A = this chain, B = another copy of it.
Amino acid sequence: MAQESKQSKRLTMVEIAKEAGVSTTTVSKVLNQLPGVGAQTRARIQRLIEQNDYVQNHAARHLRKGQSGSIDLVIMRLEGGYDLGIMHGVQDALEESGHRLTVFATHENEDTERLWLRRLLDRSTDGVLLLLPYERVGIPNALMEQNIPFVAIGDRNEPTTTFPTIGSTIWLGGYTATEHLISLGHRRIGIITGPLHLTTSRARLAGYREALERAGIGIDPALICEGNYLLGDGIKQTFTLLNQPDPPTAIFTGNDAQAAGVYQALYKRNIRIPDDMSVIGFDDVMYTAQMAPPLTTIHQPLIEMGRMATGMLLRLIAGLPLDSNHVELSTSLVVRESCAAPRTHPLSTT
């Protein structure tokens, strides 16, 4: 550990680049664990770096570069499995780069957000990962004004922005979920959406409509219920669907929290999943495999989204260009035990 405090003559990045006969961009890529450098070159640069104790004192390195060695992740609440999944991926990606992850929860409080923003500018964080709906307090605008690199993550956001964003294929997810139920033989499929002022809630609904239309199944507005992405609305809207003269044989919910509400409502009525009712969720947060029965759902690649967003951010910090300003990773169907063919005689609870 004595070695750690050694402060004697270190090479700068420019000197290492010169010594290795490469560009500073290439050295930067190696330092930041980014792809695009051949194995041999990488090894040579790494040897030089190590010989010169370049990364040993990480704080010093970042200070020399005018960087703090720290990245901020800003989220709304430390509660959901959604945010936890993203954070997991961010951690994975930072493990190699050596940046520290500072986590900040805004609790949807504008004062708290402003406070964070002031501290951020004060302390020169290298970059920011935003896991917030973009409407909040103009954070993206403030970051752009201050030239702080950032990437916005999440399906809760609008895809038409001028800054780097990463999301997942929501519309396709809605289509896939509905198509799965249709393929099992369901014709009356209820949907409990998220808040319909959000583009991504509407994208799920549009995917649902598309699947029904392609299968030649008419759309019954009575089967479309709006929720708020929370458990309570999952319960409430399940009863709305069950209390209809011709209730659905399957329910698709906009997220997994609402699916948990559907489970509770069905359990109360002693309606078995999937025997009497199929249920499919959206997100694939960590507790879905723990539900009884385990929930079939649309997987959002949260860990991968966190990882890729971090990779994009590290490129921005290193001054490298992005391949694309908006990336969507693919959603996919995860079949567990909550969907089956409908009974021959559709369920009637009246």
Q: A124's closest neighbor in chain B, by CB? A: B59
Task: Specify the chain B residue showing the minimal Cβ separation from A257.
Answer: B290
B contact residues around A123 at 8 Å (CB): 58-59, 69, 100
Contact yes or no, A122 B59, CB < 8 A: yes
Query: What residues on B are CB-neighbors of A91 within 8 Å?
Result: 78, 103-105
Kindly state whether residue A260 has any CB partner on chain B within 8 Å.
Answer: yes
Within A236-292, the residues touching B (CB, 8 Å) are 257, 260-261, 263-264, 266-268, 270, 272, 286-287, 289-292
Q: Is the CB of B84 within 8 A of A78?
A: yes
For A84, give its contact among B58, B79, B257 (CB under 8 Å).
Answer: B79
User: Which of B78, B102, B286, B294 touches A100 (beta carbons < 8 Å)?
Assistant: B102
- Give the size range of A's interface with the partner: 35 or more
| A86 CB → nearest B CB, Å | 10
One digit per residue, 1 when the CB lies within 8 angstroms of any chain B CB and 0 when it does not, for chain A 51-76 equals: 00000111100000000011000000
- How many copies altogether? 2
Known: A87-B103, A260-B290, A264-B294. A118 touches B4 (CB 8 A): yes
A116-141 vs B, Cβ < 8 Å mask (1 yes, 0 no): 00110111100000000000000000
Q: How far is the CB of A309 from chain B (nearest CB, A)?
A: 15
Cα A291 to Cα B268 in complex, Å, equals 12
Chain B residues whose C-beta falls within 8 Å of the C-beta of A21 in the assembled complex: none
- Which chain B residues lie closer than 8 Å to A102 at the CB level? 70, 100-103
Q: Do residues A267 and B293 form an inter-chain contact, with CB atoms below 8 A?
A: yes
A residues bordering B, Cβ < 8 Å? Answer: 1, 4, 56-59, 69-70, 78-79, 81, 84, 87-88, 91, 95, 98, 100-105, 112, 118-119, 121-124, 231, 257, 260-261, 263-264, 266-268, 270, 272, 286-287, 289-294
Q: List 19 A-B contacts (CB under 8 A).
A: A57-B122, A58-B122, A59-B123, A70-B70, A78-B84, A78-B87, A78-B88, A79-B84, A79-B88, A98-B119, A100-B104, A100-B119, A101-B102, A101-B103, A101-B104, A231-B289, A260-B287, A267-B292, A267-B293
Chain B residues with Cβ below 8 Å from A231 are 289-290
Note all chain B residues with C-beta closer than 8 A to A287. 81, 260, 287, 290
